[in-house]
Chain A
Amino acid sequence: MKPAPFSYALPRTLDEALELLHEYGSEARILAGGQSLAAMLNMRLATPKVLIDIAELPELQTISRRCNHVEIGAGVTQAELMAWPELADTQPLLTMILPHVGHYQTRQRGTICGSLAHSDPSSELPLALALLQGEVVLRSKRATRTVAASDFQTALMTTDVGDDEMVVACRFPVADGNRQFGFREITQRHGDFAIVAIAAHSTENGVRLAAGGVADVPAAIDWPRLSDRDLSDALNDFAWQLGGNDDVHATARYRRDLVRRIGRTIALEVIDAPA
């Protein structure tokens, strides 16, 4: 289990990185923490010609709170964001999910943006992005653009990132102090990929809830304050819409059932919690 040959580029500036990406396009892969990519390289599931290591680029190391969102650079690791003192006040959901992202050891290398770019259907950060309607900032030599969460992840492990583009940052909205957040995931073992992960927050007139691990990408849905019965029906419809697959860990049936049960628990939790 050894990777195929690749060249390794260590740009000193973001512009250098973008220049390389412009030159190599689809033959290059961006390497940040490498916690998913390196495993795929080792198994030769991916065989890029060039790896562009952006982990240490100074432009990408910042966590900055703007007026209504927090922007996280592509070099910021999951552990660094967890340790950011303002996180709980800025976006409580991230405080809830980050301990579930991989393990102690992988979070110290794995980045927030890398997890979004990898777009595993079961991983927690894409789920948070979908629920919170965050954004991803993409840059190429040509331009910078911002992509909404709903447009970013287009299919299984597939994103809207163009061949000459890279994720330079992601943005999560700053939480409204009146919102309640909830998160729970069901895994086989501590730290495994979620069989189902549910995140939700209260809204002005109801709840917004997202599910990961069921469909090919995490999906979020808004509901007004529903009666008990209507909430059950809505969750059932949501579960069926997500569908889910039978795989080695769980049946689609079980996954849908978890959407109904855990979805209900979390939805009620955020709706009923005192502000």
Chain B
Amino acid sequence: MSETWVGKSLERVEDESLLRGLGRYADDLAVPAGTLHAAFIRSPVAHGIIRSIKTDNLPDDAVVVTGEDMLQLSRPFISGVKVDAPQYALAVDRVRYIGEPVALVLAANRYLAEDAADLIDVEYEQIPAVVDPEAAASGNAPKLHDGTDSNVLHEREFSYGDPGTAFATAAHVIETKIAYPRNSCTPIEGLNVLAHYLPGDDAYDVTANFQGPYTLHTVMARSLNVPGNRLRLKTPPDSGGSYGVKQAVFTYVVALGIASKIAGRPVKWVEDRLEHLSAATSSTNRVTTLKSAFGNHGKLLALDYDQLEDCGAYLKAPEPATLYRMHGNMTGAYAVEHLKIRNRVVVTNKTPTGLMRGFGGPQIYFPLERLMDLAAAQLGLDPIEIRRRNLVPSSAMPYRTASGALYDSGDYTGSLDRAAKEGGLQALVEKRKEARAAGRLYGIGCAAVVEPSISNMGYITTLLTPQQRERAGPKNGALATATVSFDPSGAITVNASSVPQGQGHRTVLAQVVADQLGVAPKSVVVTSDHDTTKDPWSISSGNYSSRFAGAVAGAAHLAAGRIRDRLARIAAADLNVTPDEVEFANGKVFAKSNPDNALPIVRPAAKAHWSPLSTPEDAGDGLRETEFWNMPELTEPDSEDRINSSGAHGFIFDFCGVEIDPETYEVRIDKYVTMHDAGTLLNPMLANGQIRGGFAHGLGAALLEKLDYGPDGSFITGTFADYLPPTACEIPHLTILHDCSPSPFTPLGAKGLGEGNCMSTPVCIANAVADALGKDIATLPLTRSNIATLMLEDEPAGRSQPQTPASPKATGDGHAMTGQGSTLVPATPEDLWAIMLDESKLAAVIPGCHSVKRTRDNAFSAEVTMGIGPVKGRFKVHMALSDLIEPKSLTLTGGATGPLGSSQGSGYVTLTPEADGTRVDYTYEARISGKVASVGGRMMDGAARTLINQFFARLSRQAGGQPPAQSPWTRLLEWLGLKS
């Protein structure tokens, strides 16, 4: 019997090239002669009107593309919700988030393009921004889009079963409110686009590290104003990771496509890290109030979700899909009959969201699994026991959930019990007992999660009412495509529209096809690049919703089976047997009854090419088979809004023990166990690799990672020193267990498993931390500082007043910097007053001032070079003096903009005469946004203070010659005995 390959941990065929540095990633590929490189000009403000884009300083032949060009040459992107909130590839008239592309400029290389970008002068009129989703949804928030009634762009309510009665009669109603933050999986390779407009064909030839879903091909083609066959989209053979994120490249395909059309040249762009972190994409942040009705014995009767989804500044396709991807499995792993959901989607002045590993999962499981712990505590049950009592029983499989998902297979209780036993839960419980007896902070957490995979292309239409769906026509299915062919030498090539991003699809497809055809996997060549013009594909193609193992590998299995059947007919004639007697193994075809009656498989395969007239008629011509596989279970939403949102559903049960350092509040993961039932494992080593990768992302989300904004919308996590993916020192040991309940709905019984730990791990760790601290946890990440905010009691007062009053806010409230100070200037108040109101003297006082102009009464504009240490930039400053009480006090308001960023602020200054001069007291509030805030958030307060000190030092010098003796800083140094 032939060796079989599926289920074996084969080493990857991909690795030989990658380990030698011979990968073919997007930026490694050759570009056409004459290719120009693009640099983007991006908004430094969160919300503003674009007043002007001045390009006077650029050379005449420079190509600059703006939103105006997009308006002329492209159409806005379509999204799942029909609202008048258009998004173009470049901002039109108004910017709505930091990093929004406003213009792009082309040059011979990226260096020169960035030089040119620095010369483009964009004038913005800042308008109030809104960052918090609840604030944005309230009536008096600044509105992002003029064409909509409010920032809430979508709202729908759903009811399944009879939640009203269930809640009214429940023994216990338990509620939690969760604010799930933004994070991103941040592939190390950024987005890449090479776009070439071909005027002769009115077509776009694009290479981009796009990952799908290919529904977006339609979105791009429509935006470029061409039919789909005139947007040829090619993806490179290798991708530097995606985890959903590279879906975000699609808006840039349009920007670069239009730029190529304008320039008449191919154009290329490689996203850099700051661009990526600030503007590529993000998970949605979501505020959820989850109510539950429990019966007396811990039976979960009903759930009521109120979800407020923050999609950022625009609903970028396929959003608001994050909100609906889990719609069928909102009851998680539990058998719950009654379910109520209210979904709202709100826009805020943040980066538009999109695909992200776990897509929608962490946002629902965080509240649901936190709630199970809260309920356990309230009902006096063990957290594991309360879950056990509510898990969907294996006898109910396949199980139809209240909202319509069809859970295919699994023994959830069995898996939970096995995990607890084999993972050593009891030992952890003992350990916790001992640790607590010793006064240590030790906690145990768990989470039970259903991991959906193979998204139904119709799930997003659940957001429409049944009547709207009726009018729009049904959307359903999840077509997967794979092609297997024999060439004239009898060699096998496989192509699938799975657009791998590093998972090892080539290896697994070779295993799958090898099994069908009885050959060694290494003899099968699998291509990984994709070309929409030449390769089979459909809208559901691509690398997302963990659809590879269940759908794509299944399609390859079926395609290989079809070609095998045809080959059997050809071989049967030569072997002198009937086709059903032909077997395939060890690179041979042979007669079942007599294995010595054999031929190398290449013989019948070559025959099909070299002498097609000699092959049986029923073998057909051309040895190439393409399978378009679909799942009949993936129907469109029914008239009662029930939707089987995914084709397969795996089960995960996680538990962990954590210990928290009582001094620093560092969370140390003592042990982490994850049990997966994802059906058949095609390659266990690769499956575990996916689990470990998902776990690392989940752990990052739990403990470290947050895309963070100030209240003014300034983005403050623009580097990998601010946005913190875990390193090898932060990832603990992971124990992986597997159960196997093959899916009855996929060809190989496989289900997706790469996203599950992004759903289970954040809440599992949060539950453990909550257990350790005895505190509720309602948001992430659980950084040391955020835990400190939960734990620290009133701060002891100091004997002396702090120099800079620290605001009581927790981190994440961002960068409204406030400060105050006092300095003694050797001049009279009148002299100082005269300086401050005289533009010629002011020029000498303002650090790095090139010129000051009076624009109107007591209002000035200036050109200033400002900076700290080596960081320097030129800014346009405008300021106005008001509340003038001569020579006693005034208010100064103003702002600065330049390539480094933008700031706005105000200060109140009082002048008090003293024996040897004037005491100047000041308080200020400043907000800084743009590049400096994104990359230097750690130092913004200090920088503001330093600049203000520079100002007063110069003021003193201008007024009387002596530098101020009493800057706050020198006072501290004196106090510390460092300065006399």
Interface centre among A154, A188, A236, A256 (most CB of B within 10 A): A188
**Residues in chain B near residue A220, CB distance under 8 A:** 976, 978
Q: Closest A-chain residue to B816, C-beta based?
A: A246
Complex: how many Å from CA A38 to CA B712?
Answer: 30
A45 near B936: Cβ-Cβ < 8 Å: yes
Q: Closest A-chain residue to B808, C-beta based?
A: A253
**Residues in chain A near residue B110, CB distance under 8 A:** 2
Please tell me which one of the listed residues B722, B724, B792, B979 contacts residue A254 in the complex, with CB atoms under 8 A apart. Answer: B792
Quick check: is B946 within 8 A (CB to CB) of the other chain? yes
Extra 18 A-B pairs, beta carbons < 8 Å, given A48-B870, A157-B943: A47-B872, A121-B942, A150-B973, A157-B871, A192-B724, A195-B784, A215-B972, A240-B802, A241-B803, A243-B804, A243-B805, A247-B716, A247-B939, A250-B785, A251-B809, A253-B792, A254-B785, A257-B788
Q: Closest A-chain residue to B869, C-beta based?
A: A157
Q: Are A258 and B664 CB-contacts (below 8 A) given A43-B274, A155-B946?
A: yes
Quick check: is B140 within 8 A (CB to CB) of the other chain? no
Per-position contact with A for B270-297: 1 when CB-CB < 8 Å, else 0? 0011110000000000000000000000
A5 near B873: Cβ-Cβ < 8 Å: no
Per-position contact with B for A223-254: 1 when CB-CB < 8 Å, else 0? 00000000001001101111111111111111
Quick check: is B940 within 8 A (CB to CB) of the other chain? yes
**Residues in chain B near residue A96, CB distance under 8 A:** none
CB distance from B378 to the nearest CB of A (A): 31
A46 near B871: Cβ-Cβ < 8 Å: yes
Complex: how many Å from CA A10 to CA B941?
Answer: 36
A253 near B806: Cβ-Cβ < 8 Å: yes
Please tell me which one of the listed residues B111, B704, B788, B976 contacts residue A241 in the complex, with CB atoms under 8 A apart. Answer: B976
**Residues in chain B near residue A154, CB distance under 8 A:** 969
**Residues in chain B near residue A118, CB distance under 8 A:** 869-870
Quick check: is B741 within 8 A (CB to CB) of the other chain? no
**Residues in chain B near residue A215, CB distance under 8 A:** 972
Q: Closest B-chain residue to A186, C-beta based?
A: B664
- Residues of A180-218 whose CB lies within 8 A of B: 186, 188-193, 195, 215-216
- Residues of B911-945 whose CB lies within 8 A of A: 931-932, 935-943, 945
Q: Closest B-chain residue to A262, C-beta based?
A: B663
Quick check: is B523 within 8 A (CB to CB) of the other chain? no
Q: Are A157 and B939 CB-contacts (below 8 A) given A2-B110, A251-B809, A253-B789?
A: yes
Which secondary structure characterizes the binding site on chain B? loop
Q: Are A219 and B274 CB-contacts (below 8 A) given A243-B803, A257-B788?
A: no
Complex: how many Å from CA A240 to CA B799?
Answer: 8
Complex: how many Å from CA A191 to CA B727?
Answer: 10
Number of A-B contacts (CB under 8 A): 210
Complex: how many Å from CA A112 to CA B823?
Answer: 35
Quick check: is B118 within 8 A (CB to CB) of the other chain? yes
Q: Are A252 and B807 CB-contacts (below 8 A) given A121-B939, A247-B937?
A: yes
Per-position contact with B for A1-33: 1 when CB-CB < 8 Å, else 0? 111110000000000000000000000010000
A249 near B975: Cβ-Cβ < 8 Å: no
Interface centre among B722, B724, B806, B900 (most CB of A within 10 A): B806
A40 near B871: Cβ-Cβ < 8 Å: yes
B798 near A45: Cβ-Cβ < 8 Å: no
Quick check: is B717 within 8 A (CB to CB) of the other chain? yes
Q: Are A156 and B811 CB-contacts (below 8 A) given A45-B871, A246-B806?
A: no
**Residues in chain B near residue A91, CB distance under 8 A:** none
B870 near A248: Cβ-Cβ < 8 Å: no
Q: Closest A-chain residue to B785, C-beta based?
A: A250
Quick check: is A61 within 8 A (CB to CB) of the other chain? no
Interface centre among A243, A247, A257 (most CB of B within 10 A): A247
- Residues of B522-580 whose CB lies within 8 A of A: none
**Residues in chain A near residue B272, CB distance under 8 A:** 1
**Residues in chain B near residue A43, CB distance under 8 A:** 274, 931, 935
Q: Closest B-chain residue to A130, C-beta based?
A: B978
A2 near B938: Cβ-Cβ < 8 Å: no
Per-position contact with A for B306-332: 1 when CB-CB < 8 Å, else 0? 000000000000000000000000000
- Chain A residues in contact with chain B, CB under 8 A? 1-5, 29, 37, 40, 43-48, 118-119, 121-122, 150-151, 154-159, 186, 188-193, 195, 215-216, 219-222, 233, 236-237, 239-254, 256-258, 261-262, 265
Quick check: is B810 within 8 A (CB to CB) of the other chain? yes
**Residues in chain A near residue B724, CB distance under 8 A:** 188-189, 192
Quick check: is B199 within 8 A (CB to CB) of the other chain? no
Quick check: is B726 within 8 A (CB to CB) of the other chain? yes
Quick check: is B721 within 8 A (CB to CB) of the other chain? yes
B726 near A189: Cβ-Cβ < 8 Å: yes
B783 near A1: Cβ-Cβ < 8 Å: no
A219 near B978: Cβ-Cβ < 8 Å: yes
Please tell me which one of the listed residues B114, B871, B940 contacts residue A247 in the complex, with CB atoms under 8 A apart. Answer: B940
B717 near A156: Cβ-Cβ < 8 Å: no
B969 near A216: Cβ-Cβ < 8 Å: yes
**Residues in chain A near residue B788, CB distance under 8 A:** 250-251, 253-254, 257
Interface size on B (CB < 8 Å)? 79
B795 near A256: Cβ-Cβ < 8 Å: yes
B977 near A222: Cβ-Cβ < 8 Å: yes
Q: Are A216 and B938 CB-contacts (below 8 A) given A221-B977, A241-B802, A265-B663?
A: no
- Residues of B116-130 whose CB lies within 8 A of A: 118
Q: Closest A-chain residue to B871, C-beta based?
A: A45
B716 near A250: Cβ-Cβ < 8 Å: no
**Residues in chain B near residue A3, CB distance under 8 A:** 111
Please tell me which one of the listed residues B274, B798, B978 contacts residue A240 in the complex, with CB atoms under 8 A apart. Answer: B798
Complex: how many Å from CA A128 to CA B108?
Answer: 47
Complex: how many Å from CA A242 to CA B663?
Answer: 19
**Residues in chain B near residue A29, CB distance under 8 A:** 870
- Sample of 7 A–B contacts (CB below 8 Å): A47-B872, A156-B869, A190-B730, A222-B977, A241-B800, A248-B716, A250-B785
**Residues in chain A near residue B809, CB distance under 8 A:** 246, 251
A2 near B114: Cβ-Cβ < 8 Å: yes
Please tell me which one of the listed residues B717, B721, B811 contacts residue A192 in the complex, with CB atoms under 8 A apart. Answer: B721
**Residues in chain A near residue B801, CB distance under 8 A:** 240
Complex: how many Å from CA A157 to CA B946?
Answer: 9
Quick check: is B949 within 8 A (CB to CB) of the other chain? yes
CB distance from A118 to the nearest CB of B (A): 7
Complex: how many Å from CA A191 to CA B728?
Answer: 11
CB distance from A257 to the nearest CB of B (A): 6
B783 near A249: Cβ-Cβ < 8 Å: yes
Q: Closest B-chain residue to A26, C-beta based?
A: B872
**Residues in chain A near residue B730, CB distance under 8 A:** 189-190
CB distance from B896 to the nearest CB of A (A): 15
Please tell me which one of the listed residues A219, A222, A254, A261 contacts residue B972 in the complex, with CB atoms under 8 A apart. Answer: A219
CB distance from B86 to the nearest CB of A (A): 30
**Residues in chain B near residue A233, CB distance under 8 A:** 799
CB distance from A88 to the nearest CB of B (A): 24
Please tell me which one of the listed residues B118, B717, B785, B796 contacts residue A44 in the complex, with CB atoms under 8 A apart. Answer: B118
**Residues in chain B near residue A191, CB distance under 8 A:** 727, 729
CB distance from B966 to the nearest CB of A (A): 15
Q: Are A45 and B784 CB-contacts (below 8 A) given A40-B870, A243-B802?
A: no
**Residues in chain A near residue B900, CB distance under 8 A:** 44-45
Q: Are A155 and B949 CB-contacts (below 8 A) given A45-B931, A244-B806, A246-B806?
A: yes
Complex: how many Å from CA A262 to CA B783?
Answer: 17
**Residues in chain A near residue B973, CB distance under 8 A:** 150, 219
Interface centre among B272, B716, B729, B938 (most CB of A within 10 A): B938
Complex: how many Å from CA A45 to CA B869?
Answer: 10
Interface centre among A48, A191, A246, A252 (most CB of B within 10 A): A246
Quick check: is B838 within 8 A (CB to CB) of the other chain? no
Q: Are A247 and B941 CB-contacts (below 8 A) given A158-B868, A236-B798, A240-B802?
A: yes
Please tell me which one of the listed residues B664, B721, B799, B806 contacts residue A237 in the complex, with CB atoms under 8 A apart. Answer: B799
**Residues in chain B near residue A190, CB distance under 8 A:** 727, 729-730
- Residues of B957-980 whose CB lies within 8 A of A: 969, 972-973, 975-979
Complex: how many Å from CA A236 to CA B977?
Answer: 17
Complex: how many Å from CA A156 to CA B936?
Answer: 12
**Residues in chain A near residue B783, CB distance under 8 A:** 188, 249-250
